[in-house]
Chain A
């Protein structure tokens, strides 16, 4: 070992912390042969002794007993403070879970009751409509001049022909207002309104029979059907369908109906009976 290598192990030699026995032996041998390194090792050993003496001098130094007492008091205080919090943390999830379960149960019950209510309402309405339909078919024959209760049933020419032409309002006055049941696809499914070339806005087609009723449909009031073509042609219209349209109010004049000039610029709704060939057979006005 040379002096340079000795310098790397001199502190460990002085501290007696060299783990490599060979390096320790080699270093000590070098110190025996090199006066300078021996002095260096002696100085380091003296320093180690001095430092350890200082450490031993304060070995009995401990913090005062009042510090321990103060820390203990703080520990107890923290324990008291944290204990209710721990209980709170322990109880809160349970409480929350109970609340969640209660809310979930209430929601389920509410939904169940709601569904039952809706079904009862629907069945009562269906029953009412069926009763009304039965009453209409028995008390008001088709030849009586009244329109059928159901819009999906295409009126016959006899029905249409029995309608007296006149003022729409007069017609409405003479005929009891009826509830129109438009069935089938609603406006959203039917693709919405379409505007024809003649300015007539085609509303969703109502065809086919269905038990579903929309509340907005129930409120419509309509006149009887007014024939647009010959009676024979209309009778042969087996595949006819009813189309809800909107047209200028002035179109009433073409049917020989008076037009209120104050609202002449407005539009009126109408149901048009179309034959299988697409030709309009009859029309009725809806309000």
Chain B
């Protein structure tokens, strides 16, 4: 009978990382870095920030692997929590700066659709839709954005999201509800044609 080697648990990997085993660190990094990176990317819209955040998260894990408490949540929630704090810090820091044009180009390249090449119009439509949703998400206030990213894009359950953001499950539900409503409003506003600037506006006459 064939036995399938089971992958080591998070706790086992963390224990081995604490012991200085490089293989364990590599294994954990390859398991978790993609999610952390994408979360940071969806939160910030910037690849450079996402890379910085990912690096910070795993540096923290490298230094203080023993700080993770499995009774308070999953390792993913723990890592996302660290990433979220770094993202918010970097967004606050970079708020005063204007992004370079190259970064926009980079973002576009990062968000290229992986689709069949035989339907260019369909791809274009889909790409435009994704861009619109992505921009709408990035335009959300951070408190709503992080819940939408975690629960919708990373399909995290409410309990893990609550552990990640260090708040109650009810708060997650209400923020998700409000965030989705805001997204729908934004997307509908883009779909609806803007009123003509030359349209005659009525005004109350006070004379």
A interface with B by C-beta (< 8 Å): 11, 15, 43-44, 47-48, 50-55, 57-64, 67-68, 70-72, 74-76, 78-79, 82-83
Contacts of B63 in A (CB 8 A): 78
A47-B187 contact in complex given A53-B133, A58-B111, A75-B22, C-beta closer than 8 Å: yes
- Of B26, B41, B176, B177, the residue contacting A58 (CB under 8 A) is B41
A43 adjacent to B20 (CB under 8 Å): no
Shortest CB distance A63–B (Å): 5
A238 vs B100: C-alpha distance when bound (angstroms):
118
Q: Which residues of B contact A70 (CB under 8 A)?
A: 55
Does B170 have its Cβ within 8 Å of any Cβ on chain A? no
Q: How far is the CA of A215 from the CA of B189 in the complex (A)?
A: 107
Dominant secondary structure of chain A at its interface with chain B: helix
B111 touches A57 (CB 8 A): yes
A76–B62 contact, CB under 8 A? no
Tell me whether A59 and B38 are in contact in the complex, defined as CB-CB below 8 angstroms, given that A51-B137, A70-B55, A83-B20 are known contacts.
Answer: yes
Q: List 11 A-B contacts (CB under 8 A).
A: A53-B129, A57-B113, A61-B37, A61-B110, A63-B37, A63-B50, A63-B55, A71-B55, A71-B58, A72-B25, A75-B25
Known: A54-B42, A62-B37; 18 extra A-B contacts, CB below 8 A, are A44-B184, A50-B130, A51-B137, A52-B153, A53-B133, A54-B130, A58-B38, A58-B42, A62-B33, A63-B37, A63-B50, A63-B55, A71-B55, A74-B59, A75-B22, A75-B25, A79-B20, A83-B20
The answer to whether A55 touches B153, judged by C-beta atoms less than 8 angstroms apart, is: yes
Give the number of residues in B that approach A within 8 Å (Cβ atoms): 42
B154 interface hit (Cβ, 8 Å): yes
Most buried by B among A53, A58, A62, A63: A63
Task: Say which residue of A15, A54, A72, A74 sits within 8 Å of B26 (CB atoms).
Answer: A72
> Which positions 139-185 of chain B face chain A at CB distance < 8 Å?
148, 152-155, 176-177, 180, 183-184
